[in-house]
């Protein structure tokens, strides 16, 4: 994965399962903090808390940050440096990996065609407290 491909990107579309796999949040890339296109960095500890809250309360995803939910997050795994080591996983990226099941076959086709290139799982960023 090159630096210009990183972000909330689709990594794999499974025709057999009708599920789209990819990164919902990125914390680090190649050992460095990842800053998204909006200028935000989500540290691993904040990502882990947000991922827990999301999976317990929401689990919906939207089309490119707009409209109503178009599917459900059916698989999710937060990957921190510590968790990767515990599971003997080698990865240049840490963050929140998900698998989403679109409600409509047309949405899956948009992921397959490349029209949809990423995920929008919703949520609101809470600014870091001043120390």
119 Cβ contact list (under 8 Å, min separation 6): 8, 10, 20, 22, 23, 24, 61, 98, 100
Residue 66 vs residues 62, 115, 122, 127: alpha-carbon distances, Å:
6, 14, 9, 22
Per-residue pLDDT reduced to its tens digit, 56-113: 887 777 665 556 778 888 999 999 999 999 999 999 999 999 999 999 899 899 989 9
pLDDT of residue 4: 44
pTM: 0.82
Give the number of residues written for the chain.
131
pLDDT digits (tens, 9 = 90+) for 9-34: 788 999 999 999 999 889 999 999 99
């Amino acid at each position: 994965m090159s630096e210009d491909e990183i972000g909330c990107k689709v990594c794999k579309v499974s025709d057999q399962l009708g599920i789209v796999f990819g990164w919902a949040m990125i914390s680090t890339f190649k050992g460095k903090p990842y800053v998204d296109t909006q200028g935000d960095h989500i540290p691993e500890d904040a990502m882990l808390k947000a991922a827990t809250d999301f999976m317990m309360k929401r689990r919906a995803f939207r089309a490119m940050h707009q409209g109503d939910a178009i599917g459900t997050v059916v698989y999710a795994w937060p990957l921190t440096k510590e968790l990767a080591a515990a599971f003997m996983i080698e990865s240049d990226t840490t963050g929140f990996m998900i698998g989403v099941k679109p409600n409509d076959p047309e949405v899956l086709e948009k992921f397959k065609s490349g029209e949809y290139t990423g995920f929008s799982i919703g949520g609101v960023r809470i600014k870091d407290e001043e120390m």
